[in-house]
A and B are shown apart, each in its own frame.
Chain A
Amino acid sequence: GEDVEQSLFLSVREGDSSVINCTYTDSSSTYLYWYKQEPGAGLQLLTYIFSNMDMKQDQRLTVLLNKKDKHLSLRIADTQTGDSAIYFCAEKDNDYKLSFGAGTTVTVRA
């Protein structure tokens, strides 16, 4: 949605780190999320971060949150070909509604 913005494309070499950036506008967002969408598949929740945290690590994934600048990033370490997908940043508008960005298409090249 228009409240969440992210870069549209990212190309990365296999084995390198990927960093996907996102900005959001709602300062009252309690949770922020990263979803992954592979071709022909539904969205899959990758990870989320609570707004009172500034970092969360989960295996190869690291989420950084700068609440002051309303900036969220997802770092994927040791990017693999299976990481090629569209990644969506999302914020929770209220108790149940998510606002998604337009998605970043990540292409992993050998």
Chain B
Amino acid sequence: GAGVSQTPSNKVTEKGKYVELRCDPISGHTALYWYRQSLGQGPEFLIYFQGTGAADDSGLPNDRFFAVRPEGSVSTLKIQRTERGDSAVYLCASSLTGQGAVLTGELFFGEGSRLTVL
């Protein structure tokens, strides 16, 4: 597709369950970002990939959160032992190169995966 694709668009799970959220960035974009947007708030940075490696994971709230990007394209955000406080919209974004992001900050965002933990 032409844009950043995220699946699932909605996920309802029970407290304590494991969840995976997938992001398919724009083809050729080497930089990939995960943000979390809680209700009534702006997006908060979670993790940044440049290629296959996580260049900055300082925004991950705790060790229940983990993200991978094994082939430098699709990324999966993994949340273990989910808690009600994890309920949010998880946004993925990509940019052409890290330098492109430096120059203009133009991140292309997906529509997000809305996670609800009951």
Let me know if A88 and B42 touch, CB within 8 A: yes
Interface of A is mostly: strand
Let me know if A42 and B109 touch, CB within 8 A: yes
The smallest C-beta distance from B99 to any residue of chain A, in angstroms, reads 8
- Residues facing B in A35-53 (CB within 8 A) are 40-45, 48
Within the complex, which residue of B31, B48, B109 is in contact with A43, where a contact is CB–CB below 8 Å?
A: B109
Residues of B within 8 A of A45 (CB): 104-107
Residues of chain B touching chain A, judged by Cβ–Cβ distance below 8 Å, are: 3-4, 31, 33, 40-45, 48, 55-56, 91, 93, 98, 101-102, 104-112
Given the complex of chains A and B, what is the CA–CA distance between A101 and B43 in angstroms? 8
Interface of B is mostly: mixed
Residues of B within 8 A of A103 (CB): 40-42
Instruction: List 13 A-B residue pairs with CB atoms under 8 Å apart, sorted by A's residue number.
Output: A33-B105, A42-B111, A44-B109, A48-B104, A48-B105, A88-B43, A95-B102, A96-B31, A97-B56, A98-B43, A98-B107, A100-B43, A102-B41
Residues of chain A touching chain B, judged by Cβ–Cβ distance below 8 Å, are: 1, 4, 31, 33, 40-45, 48, 88, 90, 92, 95-103
